[in-house]
A and B are shown apart, each in its own frame.
Chain A
Amino acid sequence: MKNVTSLVLFVCALFLYGCSESLGVGNDQSGGNIAKNGSYTKMLVVKNRLYGVSLSDISTLDISDKNNPKLLDKKRLGFGVESIFHHQGLLLIGSNQQMYIMKIDANGVPNLESQSRYFDVEVGSCDPIVAQSTTAYVTLSPNTITGFGNCGIQRNTAQTLLIGQLRSYDITDVKNPILKSTIDVSNPKGLAIDGEYLYVCNSEKGVNIYDIGKNKFAPELLYSSDPFEAYDVIVNNGIITVVGGKNLHQYNLEKQSGKISLKKLSTIEL
């Protein structure tokens, strides 16, 4: 009996050790010391791992020692990988054909849980993913060649979308994401979530804001800005930062008598 107790203690100690190690030294909960990435990012840091996607793979780097980083893992994905998003221990990876969901294991290495093809046929669309709670939002843009959000090489065999889409997926079961809604958006690009609001860049038409608070699977268009070039957006501390073309704009969200709108704070331009 005593042996069993010591074994249990030993296993517990191992478990605790494992936990403290996987939490790492430089974890990302220490305030504002981790970057907020745009939705088109190809790199991000979670705890002491750096994840980077290339056109067709994902690499994991141990960055515990910044002077001596170590490549831990490299996994092949399909063609046209464009973006990576971290959500509660999951990596959501967008490509021109599908959404990949990978789960980060105790050693910080991602493993594929599922891949959801956007279309039955090859369609030359691509664009990023964001997620909140159990919902992932994806934009699919009709343009593959834009210089920004260019998910790689134009494939002449691919069909082109006539109109872009904003999709929502239920990712409660990461092995089996379920498409819940598809909304037409003319040419959607980068996107960001802030609580009950979903911000979607719509190329030269500016930014759309959707309500995802009432029904997270049915984004409801609340506001469309005046036209301007909008390709990616980051929302942080109530400030909405949008980049597009030669400009970088910053806005506040104004709420007046039940209506929302973007109020410009500044523009950096050429």
Chain B
Amino acid sequence: MKYLLSFGILFLMVGCHKDSEDLIVDGFAPVYIVYDVTKIKNEKPKPLISGTNFILYKTYILLIEKNEGIHIVDNSNPALPSFISFIALPSVQHLTASEDVLYVNYGKDLVIVDISNINNVKFLSSVKGFFSTDQEVIPPDFSGYFECIDDNKGVVKTWEKKKLVNPRCRTVI
């Protein structure tokens, strides 16, 4: 741990000296996507790729397709559930619902959606930075250098391998 810490400090100093040689390393960089959450809407149903978090709401199952959106499943007959629509929302991971309102995350923001008509959902409001420290702040299952996330560029859709020049972020634990 001490070794890591000293390495981190050394690395920071190297970064400050612009004249010295650039540090070029293999690492990961975020791939951003920008989505206008005020235009959130129902789309045609999509096949399920990998279900994660889900909720039961009235006679529906709302199931997150991680980072892609939310499947709406009509479950009035649990023996015969059917996909009725899909709400695209990049970076989505969390959801809950109450009183005709759906709460979901868009990156670190909370988005509040009117689902009184589940076939015609409508944006109500959003809260910036509600999830202040969310999970995907570093590339998953990775230890090393990465390009720091810039929240102004959108939300992180995925991570890609990249040659990094003087990266300022590194996993330290």
Residue positions of A touching B, CB distance < 8 A: 26, 28, 30, 32-38, 40-45, 50, 52, 54-57, 59, 61, 63, 66-69, 71, 74, 145, 147-148, 150, 152-157, 231-232, 234, 236, 239, 241, 243-248, 250, 265-266, 268-270
Known: A55-B134, A270-B47. A35 touches B98 (CB 8 A): yes
Contact across chains for B96 and A43 when beta carbons are under 8 A apart: yes
Q: Give the interface SS of chain B, mostly helix, strand, loop or mixed.
A: loop
Partner of B140, one of A28, A56, A145, A266: A145
Q: Which residues from chain B sit less than 8 Å from chain A, CB to CB?
A: 1, 47-58, 61-63, 66, 73, 75, 78-81, 83, 93-101, 103, 110, 112, 114, 124-125, 127, 130-135, 137-138, 140-141, 143, 171, 173
Total contacts A-B at CB 8 Å: 158
B62 CB to closest chain A CB, in angstroms? 8
CB distance from B129 to the nearest CB of A (A): 9
For the complex formed, measure the closest distance between the CB of A78 and the CB atoms of chain B, giving whole angstroms: 12
Shortest C-beta distance, B101 to chain A (Å), equals: 5
Q: Known contacts A63-B101, A69-B112, A246-B48: does B130 contact A35 (CB below 8 Å)?
A: no
In the bound complex, residues from chain B placing their C-beta under 8 Å from that of A63 are: 101, 112
Contact B132 A59 (CB under 8 A): yes
Q: Which of A38, A250, A269 lies in contact with B78, CB distance below 8 A?
A: A250
Contact partner, A156, options B55, B101, B135, B173, Cβ 8 Å: B173
